[in-house]
Amino acid sequence: MSDFIFEIGYEEFPASFILPFVSQLKEKILSDLEKQRITVENCKEFSTCSRTALVCTGLPERQPDVREKVTGAPKKVALNPDGTLSKAGEAFLAKNKITDYFFEDSEKGEVIAGYVEEKGKELSEVITPVVKAALHAANFKKSMRWADNSFAFARPIRWILLSINGKPVEDDFEGIKFSVTSFGHRFLSNGALQVNAQNYCEILEAHYIFADRDKRREYIKSEVLNKASELGLTANIDENLLDEVTDMVEYPHVVIGNIPEKYKDLPVELVVKVLKKDQRYFTLCDKDSKVVKFASVLNNIPRNDSLVVEGNEKVVSARLSDAAFYFNDDLNKDFAALYERLKGVLFQKDLGTYSDKVNRICDIAMFIADKYFPHHICTLLNLKKAGEMIKNDLVTGVVFEFPDLQGIMGRYYARHAGFESDVCEAMYEHYLPINAGDELPKTEIGTILSMADKIDTIVGGFMAGMKPSGSKDKFAIRRNAIGFLTVAQNYSLNIKEVVDFAWELVKPRIKNLKDEMKQEIIDFIVARYSAVLSFDTPVIQAAAARDAELPKTVAKRAETIARVLKESDISGLVQLYKRGCNILKKQEVVLGEVNESLFEQDEEKKLFAEVCKVENEIKTMSDNFDIAMKILSLKPALDAFFDAVFVMHDDLKIRANRMNLIGKVTGLVAEHIGEISFLNI
């Protein structure tokens, strides 16, 4: 078996370019090798800011030989009348490079046929064009040309290593000759390095290159955590920042710097954001959660760490000075009065300014509070107060510089202005949940405003023609719908009623709207149950088939169905339920009350008595699972009914009465368990 190493060294890539390039390169090379009948047992990718490599093992030494039968024109076309090959026959031989031919039967009758034979190429003959094709196919957000090259790449290429079994491949790419050597760290190592598939990582690490990205990432993380622990501090490890820093270095070296005392009272989130966005530094906090130090990851080992730290501290001080200026300037403003400035900030051309949006949010919030939440006058006053200010921080200096801090800074400014705690928390909580699995609002006011803000964005977005399409979702309507449902499933709220109310608020602003769009909006929101509820799709479909506009009901049903499936055998009832639903569907009857006097058989009397008994018993039950199990107890009586009773009686009154009885049972199941016909049983 053979192995090969392919490594391309280049001027430093931006961190965001690296993983997409590695993925493209590996996928393209392995795919093309497979097309060339070369199988690879193992292929490991390596990457840093200045190199990408593939080390592949378990390859054959050459392509397998090929002998494949091909067929051509019918015999009467391939031969002349005298039995010699016609022009069509000769063309068939020439095209497939064969000399021997024969005729065989096919669906088209007798056709000319022959065997194409191809001798397998040496591995080097196959790999070279594959590697070149992969480099030519590489796609970047931005590319450049250098020297007199017509070839475009993300950054200038410094070297290309391509060796098979440690031996060189004599070729070049765009004038860059393939070699059998790599290079170590550009500052800490000198000269070319002889590497092979077995010692690639070992040799490079000895020359200050952590080629294995996962190992480099873990090393950075552990170094930051260890240094923080030694200082009695806690490190904030932002996973996205860790990924970015990992792709910015080849040999990480962590140093610790100090935050100037005068900036330690700045909001933690602001300090973290400044150091992350501008410097790519990790922050270290004391026991009071104040940021007191930072960790920077160097791509070098300096002669004197303290000199580097001193320089870093000066830059950090300058950055935090700017942040402190904006923050203190914001604190000197009348936070409540900032609402007036929202009148000059456009939300969307058809939906008006942010002040228009805030007004709608307040109206929707008051509607939700009045209809679905038990409240007292103080809660409503604070709800209105919070609603009028929830977007005010959008016009502050800090949020202008760092949009990700919207809501977070609003909470600080509201606290500084002396507002009640639940009003302050609402500044932040109304954005929650931001992502899947994110925290939910904890205060009632934050909860109501969260739903109000999201439903306004969803309804307004649809009405303004911003409906999500494919990957396009400018207003993040999908995310808002998921967030709305995530919050709403915990409360007795009706989606249709809230959508109707929000619709009427927007309607005067937009002409030529069709009322059918309201149902489209509701259906769009309801379709997001699959992203909110952590159950199998059939379970969610069964739960949401009825009363889908009631999130709390749907969530409880899904939980109940999942538990019933786990703890009992529901398959028998599902089949009987489907049978009953099919009968009712085929007859298209309008169900009415059951008339006991029309019963003729004991089985229908027994079933009716059992249904009435269950109905009365579940009225006193509060646990959905207990109710479901009680309804499941109807299965024997329902089974006996279908075995013994002929539903389609000649007497139309008896037939209708039996259908009413079936409808009573199916209705009970659908209402308290769910539309169980969706279950794959």
**Mean pLDDT computed over every residue of the chain:** 93
Q: According to the model, what pLDDT value does residue 544 have?
A: 94
> 183 pairs with which residues across the strands?
192
Residue 605: both structure tokens together? 């009397």
Q: pLDDT tens, 549-573?
A: 999 999 999 999 999 898 888 888 8
Say whether pLDDT at 94 is over 80: yes
Residue whose entry in the numeric block shows the structure tokens 């699995």: 437
CA distance 572 to 87: 70
Q: pLDDT tens, 180-235?
A: 999 999 999 999 999 999 999 999 999 999 999 999 999 999 999 999 999 999 99
Q: Please, what's the b/e burial string for 324-339 (b: 16 or more CB within 10 A of its CB; e: otherwise)?
A: bebbeebeebebeebb
> Who has greater pLDDT, 590 or 312?
312
Kindly report the three-state secondary structure assignment for every residue of 395-452.
HCHHHHHCHHHCCHHHHHHHHHCCCCHHHHHHHHHCCCCCCCCCCCCCCHHHHHHHHH
How many C-beta atoms surround the C-beta of residue 82 within 10 A? 5
Tell me the pTM: 0.82
Residue whose entry in the numeric block shows the structure tokens 């962590």: 254
Q: pLDDT tens, 453-488?
A: 999 999 999 999 999 988 889 899 999 999 999 999
Q: What single DSSP character describes residue 198?
A: T
How many C-beta atoms surround the C-beta of residue 138 within 10 A? 18
Say whether pLDDT at 533 is over 90: yes
Q: pLDDT tens, 112-148?
A: 899 888 888 888 899 999 999 999 999 999 999 998 8
Q: According to the model, what pLDDT value does residue 508 have?
A: 93
Contact 364, 452 (CB under 8 A): yes
Q: According to the model, what pLDDT value does residue 437 have?
A: 81
Give phi and psi for 595, each to the nearest 5.
-105, 110
> 68 pairs with which residues across the strands?
116
CA distance 152 to 143: 6
Nearest to 185 by CA among 50, 47, 55: 50
Q: According to the model, what pLDDT value does residue 435 have?
A: 83
Instruction: Quickly state the pLDDT bin for 580 (edges 50, 70, 90).
Output: confident
Contact 451, 415 (CB under 8 A): no
Residue 476: both structure tokens together? 């993040």
Contact 154, 144 (CB under 8 A): yes
What is the maximal distance between C-alpha atoms in the chain? 107
Instruction: Quickly state the pLDDT bin for 647 (edges 50, 70, 90).
Output: confident
Task: Provide CB contacts within 8 A for 557, sequence distance 6+.
Answer: 542, 543, 544, 624, 673, 674
Lowest mean pLDDT among 30-34, 331-335, 374-378, 522-526: 374-378
Rounded average pLDDT over 31-59: 94
CA distance 376 to 664: 41
Q: pLDDT tens, 254-304?
A: 999 999 999 988 999 999 999 999 899 999 999 999 999 999 999 999 999
Instruction: Quickly state the pLDDT bin for 399 (edges 50, 70, 90).
Output: very high
CA distance 63 to 334: 76
CA distance 267 to 264: 8
Q: Taking CA 321 as the corner, what is the angle to CA 320 and CA 323, rounded to the nearest 5 degrees? A: 60
Q: Taking CA 457 as the corner, what is the angle to CA 403 and CA 464, rounded to the nearest 5 degrees? A: 115
Query: Domains in the chain, ordered, with CATH?
Result: 2-62+122-206 (3.30.70), 66-118 (no CATH), 213-323 (no CATH), 336-532 (1.10.3210), 569-678 (1.10.730.10)
Rounded average pLDDT over 636-650: 89
Q: According to the model, what pLDDT value does residue 478 have?
A: 95
Q: What is the DSSP string of 453-467?
A: HHHHHHHHHHHTT--
Kindly report the three-state secondary structure assignment for every residue of 652-665.
HHHHHHHHHHHHHH
CA distance 404 to 387: 20
Contact 335, 287 (CB under 8 A): no
Contact 270, 207 (CB under 8 A): no
Nearest to 96 by CA among 120, 64, 125, 67: 67
Say whether pLDDT at 438 is over 90: no
Burial class from Cβ neighbours inside 10 Å (0-12, 13-18, 19+) for residue 265 reads exposed
Rounded average pLDDT over 89-103: 88
Q: According to the model, what pLDDT value does residue 120 have?
A: 85
Instruction: Quickly state the pLDDT bin for 577 (edges 50, 70, 90).
Output: confident
